[in-house]
Amino acid sequence: MNERSSLPRHIALILDGNGRWATSRGLPRTKGHEAGSQKVRLAVRACHERKIPVVTLYAFSAANWNRPGEEVGNLMRICREFAEEAHDDLVARGVRVVVVGDIDDEVPTATRKATEKLIADTSDGTSMTLALALNYGGRRDMVSAMRAVAAQARAGLLLPEDIDSHTIRRFLSTSELPDADLVIRTGGEQRLSDFLPFEAAFAELFFTDTLWPDFSEATLDEALAFYARRQRRFGRTDEQVRRTAEI
């Protein structure tokens, strides 16, 4: 695990299992989300210490607005509290925070302002990029990108034959991030749930039954060990990959 080449450049985390963690203990679901928020800080520190360049957290999906109003309100409060309470540590560590998704319309003002302050105050960070997927939906992001591409084509700034995957990528809210190398999902489910469908097309997928509030550095290291064992072919043969590695 000490070899830099064995580490993913971009880890994307789906933080699943907060509610089940709480209900299994006879606690309100909110307590699970609060416990999960503390594990977010642990995960960010652990990734920073392992020199992972980019980490994206699925903090709140666009589909999560369908949850009961009280739970949504608590999730927004927890997002605001994370932005406030993690602020000093992230600044000190040189972690740059960005947001993917749309925080301009539906996200409550207090949460949006706390997040925007965190983004502004960490903008000079160079040790790691932390992307918060807040009010994010992968399909919605792709639709927005396609509308932008269509507008460029209509204005004569793009020819249809010049449109490729790189063109679409430029208009996604994740445009400044590299593609995901490793997606980690806790909680036992084995799906992406509209998380980075374009950007994780070639990602390695690590699923664990561990509920997010039980996430630990050992869980992260297990995922990193899994990644290190994978052969990243990107359509090439085993022999081609081996020859490239020998150069």
What contacts 246, CB < 8 A, 6 or more positions away?
A: none
DSSP codes joined into one string, 176-215: TSPPPSEEEE-SS--S-TTSSTTTTTT-EEEE-S--GGG-
Classify each residue of 62-98 as buried b or exposed e, where b means 16 or more C-beta atoms within 10 Å of its C-beta: bebeebeeeebebbbbbbbebbeebbeebbebebbbb
Q: Rounded to an integer, what is the distance from CA 211 to the centroid of its chain?
A: 17
Tell me, yes or no, if 124 is annotated catalytic: no
Residue 64 a catalytic site member? yes
Q: What are φ and ψ of residue 131, in 5° steps?
A: -100, 125
Q: Which of 16, 18, 74, 141 is catalytic?
A: 16
> Which of 2, 18, 64, 124 is the catalytic position?
64
Catalytic positions, written as ranges:
16, 64
